[in-house]
Structure formats: C-alpha cells, structure tokens
Amino acid sequence: MNAAFWRAYARNKGAVIGLAFLALVILLAVLADVLFPDSPWDMTTAPFQPPLSEGAPLGSDTLGRDIAAGIAHGARVSLLIGLTSTAVAVLIGVLLGAVAGFHGGWVDDAVMRFTELFQTIPNFVLAVVLVAIFTPSLASIVLAIAIVSWPPLARLARGEFLSLRNREFVQAAVTTGQSNLTIIVRQILPNSLSPIIVSASLMVATAILLESSLSFLGLGDPNLMSWGYMVGAARTVIRQAWWMSFFPGVAILLTVLALNLVGEGLNDALNPKLARKGRA
Amino acid sequence: MMTGVPLLDVRDLTIALPAGAERPYAVENLSFTLERGEILCVVGESGSGKSMTAHAVMGLLPKAVRVASGAIRLKGADVLSLPEPEQRELRGSRVAMIFQEPMTALNPLMRVGDQIDEVLRYHTTLDRAARRARVVELLASVGLPEPDLLRRSYPFRLSGGQRQRVMIAMALALEPDVLIADEPTTALDVTTQKQILDLIREIQATREMAVMFITHDFGVVAEIAHRVAVMQHGRLVEIGPALDVLTRPQHPYTRQLIAAVPHLIEHRDDDLAERKPVLTALGVNKTFHVGGGLFRRGRHVVAGDDISLTIHQGETVGLVGESGSGKSTLGRSIVGLIRPDAGRILFEGVDLLSLSRSRFRPYRRHLQMVFQDPYASLNPRHKVGDIITQGPVAFGADRHAAMQKARDLLKLVGLDASAVDRFPHEFSGGQRQRISIARALALEPKLLIADEPVSALDVSVQAQVLDLLEDLRHRLSLSMLFITHDLRVAAQICDTIAVMQKGRIVEIGPARQVFGDPRHAYTRSLLDAIPGKAWTQPHTAPEDQRQRDGMTHG
Amino acid sequence: MPRIAVFIVQRLVKAVFVVLAIAVFNFFLVHAAPGDPAQVMAGEAGAADAQFVEQLRQQFGLDQPLTTQLATYMGKVVQADLGYSYRQQRPVLGLLLERLPVTLSLTLTAFLLALAGGVLLGTLAAMRSGTWSDTAITVVGLTAYATPIFWIGLMLILLFSVNLGWLPAFGTETIGAGLTGIDAVLDRMKHLVLPVTTLALFYMAVYTRLTRASILEVRDMDFVKTARAKGLPEWRIVSVHILRNAILPVITVAGFQAGHLIGGSILIETVFALPGIGRLAFEAVLQRDYQVLLGIFLLTSVVVVLFNLLTDLIYSLVDPRIEVAR
C-alpha cells in the first residue's frame, strides 16, 4: 500500500466518498458507548416519538427506545458480523480454491462439483434454515453467512491459481528448483491477492445485507440490537411510525453502498500493471 | 505507371496521439502515393505508425486519436473532409481492409456466408438470390473448397488460413480499388502464409488492384512488393521500388532492419561427430487428451511420437516445426514440466524419466530453460535480483554471494548491474529476455533449452538476443536445444536441425544439409514457404555491422 | 438419438444427482442440530406431543444405525414424502405445492422484468458511456444494489399505499370484494405490482451492470472493427454485431441466478403478506416447524436445478459454438 496505490485509488471519486463514509461508520461503532452510554434496549423515552423530539433525535420505537442509539450500537453488530463472516468465508473459499487450482486433475474436479452444489442451493434459504436449526446466535449467524458465501471466492481463487500455475514465471520457478510450498507462497499468492481482496471487500457488503435480512425475519441474535431487527420490529406499525423503519434502512443502505464503492475503488487501484502484449 | 492523378495520395498526414502517450504524434508528415496495379509494402517495427496510417485511410482511427493535419486523397477527393455517411459509402466498396488476427476478426455468432452477404446487402441493390450466388462465387475465387457448404459454417469451424481467405473474399466483394492488408499473415503458419501471399498476389494481378501491404517481415516484402516504404517512429525514412530498397538500401535504419534479418545460410562448425553426447532422447511419446468429459469423448493430440535425438557437447540443436508440431514437448519433458507417456531421456548416464520428482531435483541445475513470452516469464512483483537468485537460493546458496553473482550475470548479458533492484515492468521485451537468460545461467547449467526465445520480439531486437545466445554458448561451452517455428532463425544459430511434423521428427541432420539438400517432402515444403528466399540479402557493410552491435540494447 | 435429446438426458441425470446430494445434506442437517433428531423433526409444536415424537422415531427409524436411517430417509425423498407438519396438521409436500404458484408467479415476473429492464438500461449506459446519463444509471444502480430488499418493499408501501393510496399493500386480492372476470384479473395484477417491482429492482441493478460491462468489452473486439471496415450502418453494427455477442454472457449469468430470486421471495412475501412459499418459510421459522423448513429447502433447490437446466438448454441453442443442437 504505497503512495502510487493511494494516488490510483483517489482517482475514483466515488471510492473516496465511500471510504470517508465507511470511516464514519467505524467511528460511530467505536464511539457508540460514548455517544449513547445506555444500552439500546433501554426504554429511555416515551414510545412513538417522532424524529427531532427531545431525547430522541431520530424518534423512538414502540417501546420507547431511542432509534439513534439503536443505529449507533447496530453499527457495531453489522460491522462485526460482516467482517468475521467474510473472514471465515475467505479462509474456506481460498483454501479450497487454491488446492483445486494448484493441484488440478481429480482434486480440482471434486472441489468444483462440491462448489457447484453449494452454488445451486439458494443461499438465503440455506442461511435461514441453518440459523433456524442451530438457533439464532452470533456464532450461528456468522457461520451460516460464511457457509453460504464461500463458493464465489473458491471459484475466484481456483481460477487465479489455475491460470498462474501455467504462467511462465511459475514454470521457471519449477525449473529453478523451488519447492511447491515456496512457489505457492512467493510466486502465486502475491499475484492472486488483488482480486481476492476486492472480492472480499464486496463480500462484506453482501454479508451485512444477509445479516440484516436474517434479523428482519427475527433470526438475529436476540441479545444484539441490529439494524435489520429494528426494521423488522417496525414492520407492523409502518403506517403510524415511518421513522422506525426508515432510519435503520438508510443506515444499511449507506454502509453497504460505501463498501461497494470502496471495493470498486480497490479494483481500479489494484489492477495489475498489465504488460503490453506484443513486440518490444 | 504515372497516369495523372494517383489512386491513393497521402499528403503530409499527421496523426496526433492523446496526451500522455510516448510521443505526441503517431505519424508525422507522411506522404506517399499508391497506383493502380501495384503492391506497396509498408515496413516498420512496432510503434512505427504503419498500422495507424492504414486505419486513418479507412477512417477507423480510435476515438482518442485524431488526424491533426494533412490529406488523404482517393482518386483526387479528400476522404478526411467527407461527412461520415459518405465515408461509410467508400468503406468496403472502394477501399477494403483485412486484419491480422483471423481468429477474432470474424463475428463468432454469424455464419461466414452471412458476413459476406452483409457487405453486398448494405452497399448494393442486389436481391437475396443474386447475393447468395455472388457469395458462393467469392468463396470459390479465394480457393475455398465446397463454397456452398462452407458459407453456412460458423467461423470457429474454420482454420486460421481459411478464415483469412474468408476475410479476403469479404474485402473483395465489391471489387474495391484499394486493398489494405494489415499484417494479414503474421499470425499464420509459414506454409499457410505462403498460400495467402500467393492468393493476394494472384488476385491483385488479375484485378489490377492497388494493395497497401503492411508488414514487419522483410522476407514477405521480398516476396510480393513492387514498391517499399520504410517507417520509423512515425516518419517515412525510405521509399522506392522493391529491387532498389532490398538490394541497395539507402537509409541507415533500412540497412539496420535488413541486416537484422537472419541470413539463410551461415557458417557453422562441422566437427560435432567427435564430441561427447550431453543428452539423448529415445522414443519419447506424449499424447494429450483435450476436452473429454463424463459423457463425451475428447480429442487426442499427439505431441510426441517416438522422438529421438542427441545433443552433443557445445552443439546447438534446433527443433523446428509449425504450431501443433509438438516441438515444445521435448523441451518441457527434459526440464520436468511435462511427463511423457513413454521413452527415455538419458543425461550423464541416468534416465531422467525414471526418477521421482525429488530425485530429479539435483539434475535441474544442469537443465535450464528460457521461455518465449518476455512479459509472462518474469514475476511482476519480484525485483530482478530476486528473480535471478531464486534458483541458487533454492539450492542453498548464500543470498549475498548469489546476489553478487547476479550482478555479474547481468553484465554478462549486456545489462547494467543496477538492474537487480528494479522491477520487470521497467524493462523492454528484449531486456526482459536477457534477464530470463541470466536467470537460466545462474545455476550454471550444462544444457540450455530455449523455447522460442525470440518469437515475441521485434526483428532488430531478435538479432541482438540471438547474437547474445551464440556468444554465451561459446564462452560458457553450453549445449543448447533451440526450439522455433522460424526456419531463418534456426539457420542462423543451429548446428543441427530436426524438423518436426505432428509430433514426429521427419528429418534431422547438420544445418547445412537440411537447408541445402532437404530429404523429406515436408522439409522441402517448409523451405519453399519461406518468404523472400530468392532474395540475396545485401552484404552488410562494416559500418552497418558496427551500428548493429552498438545499438542501445533492446 | 438426436444430439439434443442426449444433451437433455445428460443434464437431467446430473440434476438428479444434485437433488439427491442436497437431500443427503438435509439429512445431516437434522442430525447436526442440537438436541434429539426426533424432536427437531417434530418441531416446536409436535415436540410437546410425546406420542407424535415416538411415531416419528418409528417412521424414520431414528434408533437405527445412521446408514439405515439415511437409506430410510432417501427412500422417502424419492417417493416425494417430505414429512408431516404437526403444526399445520398436513403432509409437507401438499402444503408446499399449494403455495408454490404464488411464489413462482412472483419470482418469474420479477425475473423477466429485471432482465428486460437491466438489458435496456445497461445498453443505454454503455452506448452513452462517459456521459451524465451513464453516470446517472450507474449511480442509481449502485444504490439499488446496496439497498435491502425488505426495506425497499416497506418504503414502496409507505409511498404508494399509505401516502398516495394508488396500490394495495398486502395480499394477492382484495378480500370480500367479490370481483369476477377481468376485474378479478386486474385486481390480482394490482396486488402484484409492488412486490414484483421490489424484487425486480435489486436484480435489475445487477443485470444493468452486467450488460453495460459486457457491451463495453464486446465493443472493443476485432470483429466490430471488421464490421466498421465493411462500411455497415451504425445501427446494424450495434444491434447485430455488438448486442448479440454481448447479451450472451448476460443471459447465462442471469439464468443461473434466476433460481436465487426464490430466496428473495421469503422477504417479499413476508413484507407484502403473500400466501406463497416464502411466507410459509417465515411462519415455519416463527413456529420452529423444521420439517416444513427442510421441505422448502429441498423444493427451492429443485426449482433452481430446473432453472439451471433451462438456462443451459437455451444457451446451447443460442451459441453455435456449443456442439449440441447443430
């Protein structure tokens, strides 16, 4: 991550805005306890207060809980779940994909069949089933999202490893006597990281959407106030209190959008210096 | 042939590149004419602007590139000042163009006949039946078999040569006055190239068409040109009748280019029989299975059919063949990148193919390879020093010592020692190949396998790298297996030549004999197909030789 | 046998394998869940009835070794026996099949709308790449892609139903209105407008993006230059040469994703109270009715497999390079 990278990144204005907003969300998550010292589950004010009321800048919900506090603490939940589930998915996916792409042959076939199977299953349905059966908790949600999200990463890693394995500089490494492990770590991995990083950042966004959808259906961790849960809880009173579902939804929208923009920016900035093909 | 107004008259053409390009103009003050019934070859290396000129004449310049000044007159009228609809009228009907890559130049989802029919449909008023008849006629005229059947084929079913013929038929559909051919044979095999060149020559003769033929290959120029124009860095440096330019080149750049073309017959050592064999391949077989699945049978590609040959101490053996001949298979089998199905490869008394991967490892030091693609053979994220020392370090050498040796090696291959701290993308193609060679030499091999090491380089750079390889071979008493598709290159550098076809060695012998007195029919057809073989290259004057050696290492 | 029949048979065999594999996965899910498998299967309501739980134990041989259990389970799946819902007091399969039409009509309509809209907008954006309309389409697309489906639904209800009163917010028909004939059809259609739009918006953004990228890539290909060199009119170059080649990858990706729209229907049907499989899933979650959930899981996977098969077929017919039908 040197100066050249940041300059390339900064060329995409959307990406810069995205990064700035993301920083804001992270800040909010970190400072949630400072800004809103009470638990978001506490009933701090009268119920059904509209926005810009005393003690409830974004309004209050059916039980008198502060929406703004919910959003601040919810930021933590979203980021936490988004990041951990993506990390697990990346681990599983890249491992499987690398093994498949590097080894080739029947190992590749087997892993690909397995990946295809998972890709055929509608992932949201599976996530719902998994969380329902293993009872909703932070762990089950993270695992469910990871299990549902790893296939595209495996495909990506496999593609990269497969194409790099046959690249001439890797073949040269073989002929000069480097061991398989050294080749994977020093030759292939550094050249395949970029697309994986980009994919991972976009995956955090999808993970947050998945988590909010699960929470909306009531499958969130019952101890965690998440944005999805807030929208779900407000579903039946939408006529009377539009703000209860509006603000948490906007929070999800903006965070996911920011992450998408950052992912795109990374993609543009990390694009390898493709050599000109052809005569010197 | 001056009959008043020339057919195509390019005057002071200047094409500007967008800001940030390597130079401000792709083409500067270019002027030349093209007459009816003549073939003008425009020669130059990459970056000379020859292709841009062709695109400008057709009005196909990319959006970012503009004509800054000048005129392009077709039969007296300036094409550049015409409104777009009128330019479009001319395209395809008065001026036609064929391109370099037959694989990608045709719409993969449209039948071949329909693509030709399109030209007729949008430029003429012929009805469907008449158009169909004309399509069949055109396909036949370019030598395609069963034209009525072929017109219903999709491009992917045709070979490269066939697709190029289709392109030509498409270009000729409306009997244009001018045909522009942008390196149409560069991507083809040498035998196919010959057929296409013959076709173009024949068509041009019967229709008295004007042809502007762009190429980088002086052999092709010798084969078909009436007149020659030489371009360098966007400028025209020499133009004249073919005979004059080829035998008495005036401009130093033209002389350089001609001197760089590998000479057909060269002086080689003859005392190889007494030397010890370094490596002997016996009956190497390899068949690839492509595209098979659970329910589908795949194709078999025979890449190695009973290959046997011997490389002696200090000898350069050339393995020559067209694409698909399996020439790379033996080389890759020797360095352990491919496992043959059968056969033996004897090195210092040991059959390498009988060794497991771990027991083979110590032998890797003696068998090193230089690869074809200078852009893909160096890890873009490693510094040059790390690349060169990776072999010695893998075999346990001390990093410091290895790095010092790397600096020496860089000097040996003609690069500055400071390159150890730089990245591959800072170097040109020719320089990267030198780095590749340095990497191969780092382990002090006994046998160097060069797999098409100069095919991806410009002609003038090719000559330098070939000279380097020759030089190193003598200095370090290396033996070399040189794999190439270009017979002329093989002639320049190889002592012994083995000709391969469909996985078999059809002929093997001393270079002089294979070239002077070929025994096998295939060898003969390969030699026959070399463009410009009748052209005796001018003797390189001493000052040109010196200039070639002193050129900044590319 | 004609090539195309061979192709279909090959793919069907593969599809069957996939479905069986998913069934096996189902089986292991039940056993991996915390607690007694019999109680898991019985669901929250059924677990209270000791007799029912014992019955299940017998039926599925839950005291037998694992392999026998698997065989029993697979046997039932092959006979299309997806179990019994204690809560709903009926076999699962019947319950699902009853609700399937609503979900399918929702999903299919949304898919077609998303595809048509996406291709149109994507083409527009690509043809005007670099201009403000391209930027506008891209930004709107990015936003739609970032918005949770359930929230879009709620906001649309707020706007069009609560505030403007133009469209109904819930259900598939106006209850108690007693409409017949064309009025009934129109009424049903009015009820589908918001749900279909909501589901379509997200995927429309995806397809817009895909189309745009594909067109930009095809535009730079060699054969387009050849078409220009032939002096063809611009509209022909765009429609025949560029679009036809660019649409192909979009269709394949879209087709293979089509099955996943069904996952989105869970959220849509919950928001709009539509009596489809998605809504059933939501209720089953609330009621801890696991047999129903697993049945939904298996059924939706089958739907996806069938969709993939269809896409494969269509693609092979459209692309002459796939050696099947020609």
Give the model confidence (pLDDT) of B351-396 as tens digits: 999 998 889 999 999 999 999 999 999 999 899 999 999 999 999 9
What CA–CA distance (Å, rounded) separates B259 from B68?
A: 35
pLDDT value of residue A157:
93
Give the lowest-confidence range in B120-124, B273-277, C96-100: B273-277
Whether A105 and chain B come into contact, CB under 8 Å, resolves to no
Q: Which residues of B touch C241 (CB under 8 A)?
A: 107, 110
pLDDT value of residue A276:
29
Q: A13-29: buried (b, 16+ CB within 10 Å) or exposed (e) per residue?
A: ebbeebbebbeebeebb
Confidence band (pLDDT; 50, 70, 90) for C87?
Answer: confident
Is residue C47 over pLDDT 80? no
pLDDT value of residue B552:
40
Is residue A101 over pLDDT 80? yes
Residue A217's closest chain C neighbor by CA?
A: C282
pLDDT value of residue B291:
62
Question: What number is the average pLDDT over the span C176-204?
Answer: 86
Whether C231 and chain B come into contact, CB under 8 Å, resolves to yes
Residue for token pair 């047999």: C291
Residue C240's closest chain B neighbor by CA?
A: B110
Which has more confidence, C61 or C122? C122
What CA–CA distance (Å, rounded) separates C316 from C322?
A: 5
For residue range B299-348, list pLDDT tens digits in order: 777 888 888 999 998 899 999 998 878 888 889 999 999 889 999 999 98
pLDDT value of residue A277:
30
SS3 content of chain C, % helix, strand, coil (to 5): 80, 0, 20
Question: What number is the average pLDDT over the span A217-221?
Answer: 91
Cβ distance A133 to C30 less than 8 Å, yes or no, reads: yes
- State the smallest CA–CA distance between residue B107 and chain A in angstroms: 23
Enter the tokens of residue B230. 């030489």
Cβ distance B391 to A273 less than 8 Å, yes or no, reads: no
What CA–CA distance (Å, rounded) separates B189 from B89?
A: 35
Cβ distance C227 to B104 less than 8 Å, yes or no, reads: no
pLDDT value of residue C290:
83
* Residue B39 β-bridge partners: B211
Strand blocks (E) in chain C: 84-85, 90-91
Give the lowest-confidence range in A75-89, A205-219, C279-293: C279-293
Cβ distance B365 to A169 less than 8 Å, yes or no, reads: no
- State the smallest CA–CA distance between residue C233 and chain A in angstroms: 32
Cβ distance A216 to C150 less than 8 Å, yes or no, reads: yes
Cβ distance B154 to C226 less than 8 Å, yes or no, reads: no
Read off φ and ψ for residue B421, nearest 5 degrees: -100, 5
As to burial, measured by CB atoms within 10 angstroms (0-12 exposed, 13-18 middle, 19+ buried), residue B30 is buried
Q: How many contacts (CB atoms, under 8 Å) link A and C?
A: 130
- State the smallest CA–CA distance between residue C139 and chain A in angstroms: 9
Residue A132's closest chain C neighbor by CA?
A: C285
Is residue C141 over pLDDT 90? yes
Is residue B292 over pLDDT 60? no
Q: How many contacts (CB atoms, under 8 Å) link A and B?
A: 86
* Of the partner residues B58, B92, B109, the one whose CB lies closest to the CB of residue C320: B109
3-state secondary structure of B315: coil
For residue range B194-210, list pLDDT tens digits in order: 999 999 999 999 988 99
Per DSSP, chain A holds a count of helices (H) and strands (E) of 11, 0
What CA–CA distance (Å, rounded) separates B135 from B113?
A: 6
Confidence band (pLDDT; 50, 70, 90) for B270?
Answer: low
Cβ distance A125 to C266 less than 8 Å, yes or no, reads: yes
Q: Which residues of C touch A256 (CB under 8 A)?
A: 146-148
Cβ distance A256 to C33 less than 8 Å, yes or no, reads: no
> Alpha carbon B510 to chain centroid distance?
25
Residue for token pair 């430029």: B123
Whether C90 and chain B come into contact, CB under 8 Å, resolves to no
* Residue C85 β-bridge partners: C90
pLDDT value of residue C5:
79
Percent of chain B with pLDDT over 70: 92
